[in-house]
Structure 1
Amino acid sequence: MARIPAPVAAVRSAVRRGLADLPADALVLVACSGGADSLSLASAAHFVVSQQGVAGRVGLVTVDHGLQEGSDRRARSVAAWARDNGLDPVRIGTVSVTGLPGGPEAAARTARYDALAAVAAETGAAAVLLGHTRDDQAETVLLALARGAGPRGLAGMPARRGLYRRPLLDVGRTETRKACAALGMVPWEDPHNTDPAYARSRVRGTALPTLVAELGPAVVGNLARSAALVAADNEALDELAREALITVRSAEGLSVPGLAGLLGAVRGRVLHRWARELGAPGGALAYAHVAALDALVTAWHGQGPVFLPGGIAVARRTDDLVRVVPPHIK
């Protein structure tokens, strides 16, 4: 019996662990661009399901953002590869980023996830697999540090969130490339990955390699592991905040004495959660907004209302934080 190349085995093992809890009849979809990470993921998922009896069947969805010449041909090529290798169902999601908020990267990401969600709903998929690797996680942590992000940003990408799973977060990008080579698969090289116009490309091409050169190759795994540790702490703090929010509610809003008695890390999460309840969109709710709410509790000197995204205003009224009508609406 031929020995399985170590990179192929590593990817397959990671996928098997990531799917182990799915029902025997579950449909798994792989989001595949044709790059080495998602291509090796699709191949491994098909092997694990068809040869090792994990889950039920595997399909594939590839998204054509229309941002590059020939992107439609690339999508058809990925879909043809999937059909030839027994994946079913296979879908091509054609999207437009025009008019979507944020820069090109954010707009493409929004369109991509909308397409993945639509295909998952159409096919009844139990899980959608994403090909992010340990290197992607390390890059995400560095970008979060550069933005001055708090624990949520430093936690990086979750291994699971809803339908989405990232089984390769403990697998390096080098391993996915070697797995493709061992299986005779030729991955697509996305030109955006080397375009210095994108912050992630600069981190991938310059910042992270410099850190590796100066601090050693372990830095990639260490950054990814740090994300996992922060994510575990976040989960615990979020649970404390969920319970605390119940205890500090008042008839009008939130009790200031109750909030003042909380640890700062918990209080910030309570205020963030409450702001979301009031209708502030999560994508626009920033650290500065939560800090301003916190100042109504911890640094009160008669200041006026705090204005949150979504046209929401919060003020302190004696011993309560309450939602008020913004002055310009009165």
Structure 2
Amino acid sequence: MLSKTTKLYVDLRLRFNEMSINQCQTGVDDNPDIPPELFDNDRSKLAKKVLNNKHSPLSQEFLKKGAPPGVRAELWRQTLGVEVDQIDQLYYEQLKSYVVQHDLLVDSLIYKDVKLTATNDDQYFVFEDYIYQVLFPFSRDTQVLDHFKHSSANPPKSYIRGKLGVEEFAVHYPPNGVIPFHGFAMYVAPLCYIYDDPVVLYYVFRELYMRYFFRLHQISSHPQSIVSLCLLFESLLQSQEPQLFLHLKTIQAQPLRIAFKWLIRAFSGYLDSEQVLLLWDRVLAYNSLEILAVLAVAIFSFRKTNLLQVGTASAAEGVLADITTLKVVPLIQLSLFST
């Protein structure tokens, strides 16, 4: 009889079967060193057919092997069901007008976060203005409150001055119910490489947040929540790399403490931007955040030799401090399908 962890591992292999080593992948087999006629040309032709079908499940299935950069923007929009019409344009303009009319305390948090994260990042500093054009209107968007219907959390409340504690005078604050935290801007930053229209960028980000990203910073028992991802990470690491897991515990280096910052940001700001997008391709394709935990384990496995040689927690963190050169797809393949 299979152990619980082994069964979990087998389930993951079945779930992410399209990423197996014997299947061609965008991000690996479209390398410039490989003749394009072997994979890339056919992939691009197929992408155009998928887009012409205008069928969300079809584009989602296509993304399981990654999106060619030239068509990623449209594939993501089709998968997420984002169609920006004139009403959406007007709604976005209305949100922008609210930003001008009313200052919110969270504006300072957003401003500071962008300055400390995206502006300090060589890959994203040029998108500072774009990120503001998304996050400031986002904080005023009451439609974002809908994601609380699928969450165990409740939006924070405030009260009209002089009416503290009187429920009929309670209001959600900020209006979208989301208090930005350090690194929140990094959910937007990689998208700036795909979308040059701030309005489309806004609606794609909002949909991604309401489907996936909110689960990365809310405590719940949902299988896609940050708690479940942490549990999955530790279970996989302990079963796949027992020697490494024991060694890290022995030197007081908590693996989850290192990996948590990757998970909560969906690796944005830690991997190269193109690798982040390839990873998010799979999040959309499989409609699952579990791939984040799988990748985190794969990174530990990849750096195993170095980690086993360190004797302190700080040295272990140093080994994993820079992961910008790592390639997402080969690592996941090695982690899930090499044995």
- Confirm or deny a common fold (TM above 0.5): no
Q: Which has the higher contact order (CA 8 A, sep 6+)?
A: 2
Which structure has the bigger radius of gyration?
Answer: 1
What band does the TM-score fall into relative to the shorter chain?
under 0.3
For normalisation by structure 2, the TM-score amounts to: 0.24
For normalisation by structure 1, the TM-score amounts to: 0.25
